[in-house]
Homo-oligomer: A and B are copies of this chain.
Amino acid sequence: MSKFIVFGHKNPDSDSICSAISYAYLLNQTGHEATAYALGAPSEETAYALNAFQMDAPQVIEKAADVAGADTLLALVDHNEAQQSLDDRADFRIWSIVDHHRIANIETVEPLYYRAEVVGCTSTILYKMYNEQGVDIPKNIAGLMLSAIISDTLLMKSPTCTPEDEAAIIALAAIAGVDYQTYGLELLKAGTNLSSKSCEELLNLDAKSFPMGSASVRIAQVNTVDVNDVLTRKAEFEALMNKACADEGYVLSVLLITNILDSNSTALVCGSEAGKIEDAFGVKVADGLAELAGVVSRKKQVVPPLTKAFEG
């Protein structure tokens, strides 16, 4: 029997790790042999969720070849784009993808299972798949899926949150035996303990690269309850972001500092095309900073207008 390795994107957030574990469990319950991996260590938020539901973090891998044989099949969650995935994934067959992002930079030789929906979180789709396939959801798996959805939707506050995400949160909280408001705020706050982290760590905590037009753009995001506290290290962030632009060829590097209490973001921007932030959002960048009122979702509120600014 072919073995599956299940994994989310680089710089994994809670959805990438919790969905990998939850999808591997679903595959194992439906006649497959699957193991969850991660392309990076859990964030403090994810670690809080794993600890709350007494689950181990998946083994971290950098290449599929480290754990895969020639006939191993890949099962991707929470991403599809090559630059966010295993570096050597082209050497293996992608069997399935469960995702809720735009599609880009993916090509397969053979047909595959692809399940993407326009919802706030991969775990919301997995919750539907458990139901469709008639597989019972254990308490700890329910807790992880719940955590992923709370994280991706900022406890239902993000514009990416759909009625299906809300229904999944309510149902999974009941299975997990927690109050989702209380647990959710604790989970999100666990992810805002930024003081213990270096600027370099914060820039890589939840960061993705995007091709836009012919350019490459880097967008990192941190959640906080105090934007000014993060900005005390502004000069250090800028030095690192400018270095990354020079080293990696990004024309724009953005650090999106999102206040989870009022659902606004401040963007710190570097790079030769920093002006594209002004084009995309109709705001002024002053001293490297732009105020993005009501913006909390990189995927829904930042990537689309920025892509248009680069391609238009």
B107 close to A103 (CB less than 8 A): yes
A111 close to B101 (CB less than 8 A): yes
A:298-312 near B, CB below 8 Å:
299-300, 303-304, 307-308
What residues of B have a CB within 8 angstroms of the CB of A101 in the complex?
Answer: 111
Binds B, one of A53-61, A112-120, A201-209: A112-120
A114 close to B115 (CB less than 8 A): yes
A102 close to B109 (CB less than 8 A): yes
- In chain B, what residue has the closest Cβ to A107? B104
B299 close to A111 (CB less than 8 A): yes
Select which of B103, B108, B132, B300 is within 8 A of A108 by beta carbon. B103
Could you say which interface size class chain A belongs to?
20 to 34
A116 close to B117 (CB less than 8 A): no
B111 close to A118 (CB less than 8 A): yes
What residues of B have a CB within 8 angstroms of the CB of A232 in the complex?
Answer: none
Given contacts A107-B103, A108-B104, contact A116 B118 (CB under 8 A): no
Q: Chain B's nearest CB lies how many Å from the CB of A116?
A: 4
B108 close to A113 (CB less than 8 A): no
- In chain B, what residue has the closest Cβ to A311? B109
- In chain B, what residue has the closest Cβ to A90? B311
A113 close to B106 (CB less than 8 A): no
A:97-146 near B, CB below 8 Å:
99-118, 132
What residues of B have a CB within 8 angstroms of the CB of A107 in the complex?
Answer: 102-105
Interfacial residues, chain A to chain B (CB-CB below 8 A): 99-118, 132, 299-300, 303-304, 307-308
Query: Beyond A102-B112, A103-B103: 18 further Cβ-contacts under 8 Å?
Result: A100-B111, A101-B111, A102-B107, A102-B108, A102-B110, A103-B106, A103-B108, A103-B114, A104-B106, A105-B107, A109-B303, A109-B308, A111-B116, A111-B299, A111-B300, A113-B118, A114-B114, A115-B116
